[in-house]
Structure 1
Amino acid sequence: MKDVNLELTKMMKGAFFTAYLNKWLGVRLAVDYTYLEGRDNIITTTGIDELYRKQRNLDFRTNIWEAYAAIEVFPTMIFYKNEEGFEPKLRPYILAGVGAFKFNPQGSLSDANGNKTWYNLQPLRLEGQGMAEYPYSKPYKLTQLNIPLGAGIKFYASDRINLSTEVLYRKTFTDYIDDVSQKYIDPSKFSKYLSAQEATIAYQLSDKSIPIIFPGQARFPAGTQRGDVKDGDTYFSAVLKVGIRLGPIYESAFAKRAAKQTKCPSLY
């Protein structure tokens, strides 16, 4: 749907496990859950692209379940040396990894009283996915890979507890998180591939446009751009994390050096 609409920002929940192989390198496993949504009708900017999307008038929502593995690197700790065992409490880090996520885009139709009903969009093939008339439009899967990339800063409140804040961006390999990617199709094709009930719903959901740029235009002509296949979907999160150390705590500098020599990882 484009744009960052702060009013649609939702909470993300998750859990993570990190093993620190040394003072500057960690391996993280994480699972997260969140909810994404977008609405063309809340766009406030007035450029031609924004007005076009406002006329398009689409909306979507989807749950996101994701799991990923990532490497954490603490650049300031790579060359840090202190024989007394003192280590800084505040440490910036960067991370990168690979993961998978599951989604299921839904779109809404409103009745005369403004009550919304939400429908799963993937089975309705709104852009001709899998239809012989539109060979460029391929069916998409609801489980996809992503590449998490991020940066943050970690504060060690104690030997046992740490707090982190980070921004994590996800590059994906799909353009269908919002079920919008290609072009409008001939709506008569829905009845060829879908049941009568599904075809009626697909007809309404495929084009919900309202006349803004083109007054009097009831629907966009088939072949008109609906999305932008060259601009794939991404999402990101700003996260506050609490880590609790699961491994042993080494109190003295001598014990820390001994732990380092035996190469025991720290677990959170």
Structure 2
Amino acid sequence: MKNRLHYLIYRFFITLFLTLIFARPSYAQSLLLGNENLTVEVGLNFGPTFFLGDLGGHRGYGTTFIKDLNLPLTKLMKGAFVSVQPNEWLGFRVAAQYTFLAGKDEIINTNGRPESFRKDRNLDFRSDVWEAYTAVEFFPLMYLKRYDEDYQPKLRPYIFGGAGLFHFNPQGSLTDQNGNKTWHYLQPLHTEGEGFAEYPDRPNYKLTQVNIPMGGGFKYLLSDNVNLGIELLYRKTFTDYIDDVSTTYIDPNLFNKYLSPADANIAIQIYNKTPTTITSRTDPGLQRGNSKNNDAYFSLLLKLSIKINGNFNNDYNRKSAEHTRCPARF
């Protein structure tokens, strides 16, 4: 399923991106559908992505959003998008992108206070993330000035929201006595008893799920055909298992009941990696994660796009209209 999803996303967007870039002007004009103000843009975006979940964090009690970030685990997101604007204040976007998420309790700075529980938990994860989404863009200032033909700013703030799909597959690490680290996929190990009869309220989580992308940014018109932008892209998800940590510790004997001997051996080692001197914190039923807040992630993106069709029939006509328009004031 994972390879199939990756293949379909990349094939669709690469084909669409190249087709639109190298399309003849006559083809671009056919996209107008009778609307002389419609513009079509294709572009690339990249920037750091930050994970918001149960693992990692900072001193004190676990918190949310910016205060929960671990910058050393930041990875770069890469993607492509197509944006269609029927007018200057409304747009529709389709995008696909790849990023990488990670979390690690080991890097928490501690002074022996409330964060010691998370530090001692000593869990980690990493996961490739592939996603595709559609969104509606709204330019509030352009909407308020929609009847003012003289209002053509180069810097245009906007907000957006939509719906998407993302695929993740968390891995956790084990380190042997020689310091050699190996990574293992966590979902098949059912580390919190997902899918076990003893935990009917914990179904096995799906690796491909729905998310809600939302955010805002600024679009700057470098020229008639090239735009540069900065955007904050936040994804609300409906799962608390991107990092495979959510609820409580389970009885490790259940791994032998439901898993193969090889998988059970790995699961017993990886579900509980607290130091051997600490035992009472990991008894079955005690807290392993916090299920009150679902996992999320967000990116700070630099966006570069090109316009592949004309507005006002062509840029020459638009400039001529601007030069011959009566001035608003003297």
Pick from 85, 103, 128: which aligns with 1:38?
103
Q: Secondary structure at the match of 2:287?
A: coil
Q: Which stretches in structure 1 are left out of the alignment for 5+ residues?
A: 258-268
Q: Residue in 2 aligned with 1:195?
A: 260
Structure 1 length-normalised TM: 0.89
**Residues 256 and 205 from structure 1, CA distance in 2 versus in 1: closer, same or farther, beyond 3 angstroms?**
farther
CA contact (8 A) 1:83 1:253 kept: no
**Residues 127 and 92 from structure 1, CA distance in 2 versus in 1: closer, same or farther, beyond 3 angstroms?**
same
What amino acid is aligned across from residue 19 of structure 1 in structure 2? V
Q: Which stretches in structure 2 are left out of the alignment for 5+ residues?
A: 1-54, 58-67, 323-330
Residues 86-235 of structure 1: pairs in structure 2 closer than 5 A:
87-210=152-275, 216-217=278-279, 220-235=282-297
Deviation at 1:79, TM superposition (A): 2.0
Give % identity: 54
Deviation at 1:256, TM superposition (A): 7.3
What amino acid is aligned across from residue 149 of structure 1 in structure 2? M
CA contact (8 A) 1:19 1:28 kept: yes
**Residues 119 and 161 from structure 1, CA distance in 2 versus in 1: closer, same or farther, beyond 3 angstroms?**
same
CA contact (8 A) 2:110 2:119 kept: no
Q: Residue in 2 aligned with 1:60?
A: 125
What is the alpha-carbon distance in structure 1 between the residues aligned to residue 278 and residue 118 of structure 2?
A: 17
Pick from 219, 224, 242: which aligns with 2:304?
242
CA contact (8 A) 1:57 1:209 kept: yes
Q: Secondary structure at the match of 1:112?
A: coil
What is the alpha-carbon distance in structure 1 between the residues aligned to residue 112 and residue 123 of structure 2?
A: 18
Deviation at 1:46, TM superposition (A): 4.3
Two-structure CA RMSD over aligned residues (Å): 1.9
CA contact (8 A) 2:136 2:162 kept: yes
Pick from 15, 18, 21: which aligns with 2:83?
18
What amino acid is aligned across from residue 285 of structure 2 in structure 1? G
What is the alpha-carbon distance in structure 2 between the residues aligned to residue 24 and residue 209 of structure 1?
A: 54
Structure 2 length-normalised TM: 0.73
Deviation at 1:251, TM superposition (A): 2.6
Residues 77-92 of structure 1: pairs in structure 2 closer than 5 A:
77-80=142-145, 81-84=147-150, 87-92=152-157
Greater helix share, structure number: 2
